[in-house]
Amino acid sequence: MDRFVSVDEFQEEAFKLLPKNALDYYKSGAGRQETLRNNRSAFSKFKIRPKCLRDVSKTDLSATVLGEKVSIPVGISPSAMQRMAHPDGECASARAAQGMGTIFILSTIATSSIEEVAEAAPEAIKWFQLYIYKDRHVTRSLVKRAEDAGFKALVLTVDTPMFGLRLADIKNKFQLPSHLKLANFQGKYALTANKVGKNTGSAMNDLGALFDASLTWDDIRWLKSITKLPIVLKGILTADDAISAADAGASAVMVSNHGARQVDGWPASIEALPEITKAVGHRLEVYVDGGFSDGTDIFKALGLGARMVFLGRPVLWGLACGGEEGVKKILTILKIEFEYALAISGCSQISDIKPSMVVHESYYARL
């Protein structure tokens, strides 16, 4: 692992290490995977306009997110079933976030429970990703457990009335390996992903059928009524929905296309980001995930108005290659790359990144 100097090298090694069932689950997107590819390639459409002769002898990468100071504007997005990548799973990722002074978001569909993660990384800033289920008692129980365990925010995924069709999972008849479990769903609210799915063959589509597909914006107000935690809405891709999120009382939105795993043909997250920050950046905090793999990607997102960037798959590649230390190295690589991009572009701190410094490539075509 010491020889790896980029996220891409971690990905290449993880592809060799992970079993096919797990690898295909982690890496695949919906349909023909055009959006999955675009999540990465779309970054090249945005260009950095640097400023020269600025004093960058000292740099500060810190940011404030929902009132908490983080050392870098890069956190860990919710990714399901991390013990398929490493025996320590989500606990290792949370410890890595703790060690790097940043945010860890735990997936509802995790292989480590809320309580296990809280014990493993007591000092980490932890948020809990949530779906609203047809059985609202399940949702209430999860919210209370997250509150009791010291989680600082709820991240409600709003782009998933059901799970999308991921062809690799259907072909593989994906199911969670028998030695693992959905750790947040044991006892009274037991759920499993260890059986072949009934409709598509993938166990994930069966799990998705438990989500409440009748949700409306009124249900955001219901969620606010049962918790005092700030609510982040994850999966926003349009200005209209971002405005509705602000009107419903969300504290933040995360621009995300769910890792391109829901419907092929959606925009890349970085493409959707500018209209959302323009529409609601003055009303609530805006974060983004999807396709980030280099420090310049982070610079571009902040220039387009995001306050924080979150990583999904790169964390899994680090986890597969080296557990907690692998995730730390992923975060460290991106931290160094971002710091260099920041300083060489003429900025000593995040507030120095002005909107005029990141433009779409069409800017140059008009000159």
Per the rule left: phi > 0, alpha: psi between -120 and 50, beta: everything else, 226 is alpha
Domain membership of residue 174 (yes or no) is no
CATH number of the domain within which 308 lies: 3.20.20.70
Confidence (pLDDT) at 366: 81
Token pair recorded at residue 341? 């991009």
In a domain, 199, yes or no: no
Cα–Cα nearest to 310, from 258, 362, 365: 258
Burial of 185 (0-12, 13-18, 19+ CB in 10 A): buried
pLDDT at residue number 134: 92
The C-alpha angle with vertex 185 and arms to 251 and 231, in degrees rounded to 5, equals 5
In a domain, 194, yes or no: no
**The pTM is what?**
0.97
340 in any annotated domain: yes
Positions of E strands within the chain: 46-48, 63-65, 68-70, 74-76, 103-106, 125-130, 153-157, 231-236, 252-255, 285-289, 308-311, 358-360
Catalytic residues: 258
Q: By residue range, what is the domain housing residue 288?
A: 7-164+215-361
Q: Please indicate, yes or no, if residue 179 is contained in any of the structural domains.
A: no
| Domain-located, residue 66 | yes
Count of domains observed in the chain:
1
Residue 197 lies in a domain: no
Radius of gyration of the chain (CA): 19
Residues facing residue 3 across a β-bridge: none
pLDDT of res. 100: 98
**Residue 41 amino acid letter:** S
What does each of the 367 residues of the chain score in pLDDT, given as a tens digit? 889 999 999 999 999 999 999 999 999 999 999 999 999 999 999 999 999 999 999 999 999 999 999 999 999 999 999 999 999 999 999 999 999 999 999 999 999 999 999 999 999 999 999 999 999 999 999 999 999 999 999 999 999 999 999 999 999 999 999 999 999 998 877 777 888 778 888 988 888 888 999 999 999 999 999 999 999 999 999 999 999 999 999 999 999 999 999 999 999 999 999 999 999 999 999 999 999 999 999 999 999 999 999 999 999 999 999 999 999 999 999 999 999 999 999 999 999 999 999 999 999 988 7
- Residue 93 falls inside a structural domain: yes
Residue 230 is predicted with a pLDDT of: 98
